[in-house]
Structure 1
């Protein structure tokens, strides 16, 4: 028996490969499927099943492409209604994989079709569960994402999740291993642990949602309390996972077209594409194509693209670090952004060499910002999450989280220069680039973010100003 957890940090996502006696299953695969095919070939195994725990909202699964390339059967749990050929399993159904058995446990609550897969070893002993977004480490799946599809309230879905956990998962033995669909950083839960595997017994001790004496009412209150609005791209990803999508091969073929500066400029003008610059923020502030948006590839790239661009059908043109063009297109496709028209050949240096206009963002060290603010009191805008701001922030700073920048654009100062910062410098440059593309040119970025600010003499506080935005 071989079990591999294939964890993708930028999406905080766990896919799984299980092989026994020449047969394999893949659970919740990502969009690019060749690594799974290569892994099976390495073991001399045939992929028999592609198990989907639910219709994912935070990424586009590779189930359709993988099924097309391998002939494997796509499996969903009860009540699922995909628009393509798939096996909709019954609750309690057993799937055979080599010498192993996988039992289908219908665990609705996160979504109605949510399913946990229980792996039994060759002797029939319970070994591990693959819980998708039903059970995380330290948390459970949020019950507000499928309200419209289920025609239920989040409280009603939470009540179903309460029953699923207590009737299907908690009765399992403590030594059963828990392999969740996501870890810390995912927007599918609130309080996930940084670890990506644990025993069910330990989760019964540390996971608030598995407390044995918890009442249904307490569970519903805790699970629904403090839920932030989901990223705007989530519904589009659900639709793609349920109804289908273009082949990743087609997306890569289109997206990795190399365009000269002249071709790039024409494409931007004719297509109304957004120019997305994925270099490091320090490079972007020094010089970038006017009106381009910065979202760096080396951080939580794809989730931030989905949060601030939102429309997965938006056409994009890329400015990438050399050699990372295919990686960028792939990571965009993971969250449904398939309309990449190509990338700037030679990058920003080729753009400059062609005599084309370059813009900059004023970005200064925190020590210089502190000195300037002592001379002239100007607004400071903190684009961190509200929870970060609430813990500690610059005195009198306005909090406008990056997540909500599109709906809160009018809250940014228009008639005077203002400073913007985040925790480390990544989100503030994203915010600054979006603001500049919308006509705000009175921005000064504080380099290094709040980490640098605390060491630069700024007065910080945990008092929450009534004017801040939650």
Structure 2
């Protein structure tokens, strides 16, 4: 038996391939199927099964493409209410893959239709549990994403109660040395308190995960509901795409409209994916800068700023960067509302003045300071007492709250998000004088 953990750092998303006796099963596969094909070839094996824990909110799964290309069976709890051919698998049901066995565990709490999958080796011993978004390393999956999405919509308080039962009635009963493989790691918005470790054991979680420490159900529910992060705009849409099954990633990228030298219509949403320094040297008027370097959380911030029904254009430096940007938007299902990806667009080009740091340091009260960090970040302390907090995902809707009687300075925690925030305010409040504090925010922490 071989277990391979695939991890997408940008989305903080883990998926898994398990091979036994020439057969491969996948758990929660991401939209790019090539790594799983390579794994199967490496072991001279066939992909025969996909186990979906639930309809994911933060990424698009490739389960339908894998089924259609390889004839794999998709196993998922019928409560998900899917539109594709599937095999229902409920609590205690088992599926043999080669010499190993997958046993479904019904683990609601993050969602009301959530399965985990316990892997039994050829001797019937508990080897690992693939916990999806139910149990993380150091945390459990947030309970507030299914109040307005999915086949079954449940209040966060009811889901929090389900999670208490899942932790104490399912996970706590597993063997202590069972390896825990969750679908997410640190940085994911599906939890709030994750460890930097990407896997664990049941014994470690019993000892260190807060969810195992609170014995009273009411106290657990209250602690669970407190302090959850914002919900990106794209999350409910991804749930629905995953319930239906997505188109092939290769086709999504290949069929996206790609242009060079065109003029983008006025009033369009333009996402400029270039480095912030290049953006400030010259960009289309009204463009929003969401940088797309490999380590950037481009998908998350695109899906937090732009809604899933909004049409938008992508601007990139060259063909290679454009292809990469389209690949990344497809990972969250946003290729469907992309009008076109554009290189060298025509139109009015504007440049952005740089802030005079010395003047800002000496006269902070002469500026309107906008802190675009999340509320949970601001709760840990402000960098400027006079700053107004408008989280980046809310900035397009709340830009009118920005006082433009004074020059506006936008900051985040490290300089990546502030470029997007500054460009949003510039695009929506053209009479404002706006500056990006960028990396210089480190001088004020």
Cα displacement string for residues 309-332 of structure 1 (whole angstroms, at most 9, x for unaligned residues): 122552423324552222211110
Q: Give 4+ residue runs of structure 1 displaced > 6 Å after superposition.
A: none
Which among 250, 275, 279 is matched to residue 274 of structure 2? Answer: 279
Do the aligned partners of 1:110 and 1:142 also contact (CA within 8 Å) in 2?
A: yes
Which among 391, 406, 427 is matched to residue 401 of structure 1? Answer: 391
User: CA separation of 1:256/1:37 partners in 2, compared to 1, >3 Å: closer, same or farther?
Assistant: farther
User: CA separation of 1:442/1:22 partners in 2, compared to 1, >3 Å: closer, same or farther?
Assistant: same
| Cα distance in 1, alignment partners of residues 135 and 40 from structure 2 | 27
Which among 393, 417, 426 is matched to residue 407 of structure 2? Answer: 417
Which among 171, 175, 182 is matched to residue 173 of structure 1? Answer: 175
Correspondence for 1:155: 157
| Cα distance in 1, alignment partners of residues 96 and 357 from structure 2 | 60
Matched ranges for 1:300-319 at <5 A: 300-312=297-309, 314-319=311-316
Cα displacement string for residues 247-284 of structure 1 (whole angstroms, at most 9, x for unaligned residues): 32332113362x221xx21xx229x6532111111111
Ranges in structure 1 where 5+ consecutive residues have no aligned partner: 455-470
Q: What TM-score comes out, normalization by structure 1 length? A: 0.88
> Secondary structure of 2:101's partner?
strand
Which among 265, 269, 290 is matched to residue 269 of structure 1? Answer: 265
Correspondence for 1:216: 217
Cα displacement string for residues 416-456 of structure 1 (whole angstroms, at most 9, x for unaligned residues): 321111122211110111122213341011131421334xx
| Cα distance in 2, alignment partners of residues 380 and 193 from structure 1 | 33
Do the aligned partners of 1:139 and 1:189 also contact (CA within 8 Å) in 2?
A: yes
Correspondence for 1:51: 51
> Secondary structure of 1:394's partner?
coil
TM-fit CA distance, 1:365: 5.9
- The number of aligned residues is 438
Which among 378, 391, 407 is matched to residue 389 of structure 1? Answer: 378
Do the aligned partners of 2:373 and 2:392 also contact (CA within 8 Å) in 1?
A: yes
2:349 equivalent to 1:358:
yes
Do the aligned partners of 1:50 and 1:72 also contact (CA within 8 Å) in 2?
A: yes
| Cα distance in 2, alignment partners of residues 317 and 433 from structure 1 | 15
Do the aligned partners of 2:62 and 2:248 also contact (CA within 8 Å) in 1?
A: no
Moved more, 380-389 or 180-189: 380-389
> Secondary structure of 1:323's partner?
helix
Moved more, 398-407 or 198-207: 398-407
Correspondence for 2:435: 444
Ranges in structure 2 where 5+ consecutive residues have no aligned partner: none
| Cα distance in 1, alignment partners of residues 309 and 176 from structure 2 | 42
2:109 equivalent to 1:109:
yes
| Cα distance in 1, alignment partners of residues 440 and 227 from structure 2 | 26
User: CA separation of 1:365/1:137 partners in 2, compared to 1, >3 Å: closer, same or farther?
Assistant: farther
> Secondary structure of 1:408's partner?
helix
User: CA separation of 1:326/1:151 partners in 2, compared to 1, >3 Å: closer, same or farther?
Assistant: closer
| Cα distance in 2, alignment partners of residues 33 and 316 from structure 1 | 26
Do the aligned partners of 1:314 and 1:337 also contact (CA within 8 Å) in 2?
A: no
Do the aligned partners of 1:92 and 1:103 also contact (CA within 8 Å) in 2?
A: yes
2:298 equivalent to 1:293:
no
Correspondence for 2:247: 246
Q: What TM-score comes out, normalization by structure 2 length? A: 0.93
> Secondary structure of 1:406's partner?
helix
Moved more, 394-403 or 172-181: 394-403
Moved more, 377-386 or 296-305: 377-386
Correspondence for 1:464: none
TM-fit CA distance, 1:368: 4.7
| Cα distance in 1, alignment partners of residues 361 and 143 from structure 2 | 44
2:323 equivalent to 1:329:
no
> Secondary structure of 1:238's partner?
helix
Which among 359, 367, 370 is matched to residue 361 of structure 2? Answer: 370
| Cα distance in 1, alignment partners of residues 376 and 300 from structure 2 | 19
User: CA separation of 1:2/1:380 partners in 2, compared to 1, >3 Å: closer, same or farther?
Assistant: same
Cα displacement string for residues 314-369 of structure 1 (whole angstroms, at most 9, x for unaligned residues): 24233245522222111101111013344333x4xxx5xx7x53212223364453
User: CA separation of 1:365/1:388 partners in 2, compared to 1, >3 Å: closer, same or farther?
Assistant: farther
Matched ranges for 1:192-203 at <5 A: 192-203=194-205
Correspondence for 2:186: 184
| Cα distance in 2, alignment partners of residues 59 and 443 from structure 1 | 34
Which among 426, 431, 440 is matched to residue 421 of structure 2? Answer: 431
Do the aligned partners of 2:313 and 2:342 also contact (CA within 8 Å) in 1?
A: no
Do the aligned partners of 1:361 and 1:445 also contact (CA within 8 Å) in 2?
A: no
Cα displacement string for residues 283-305 of structure 1 (whole angstroms, at most 9, x for unaligned residues): 11121121111101121110100
Task: State the superposition RMSD in angstroms.
Answer: 2.0
| Cα distance in 2, alignment partners of residues 452 and 255 from structure 1 | 42
2:118 equivalent to 1:123:
no
Do the aligned partners of 1:49 and 1:73 also contact (CA within 8 Å) in 2?
A: yes
Do the aligned partners of 2:129 and 2:178 also contact (CA within 8 Å) in 1?
A: yes
Matched ranges for 1:1-12 at <5 A: 1-12=1-12
Moved more, 273-282 or 48-57: 273-282
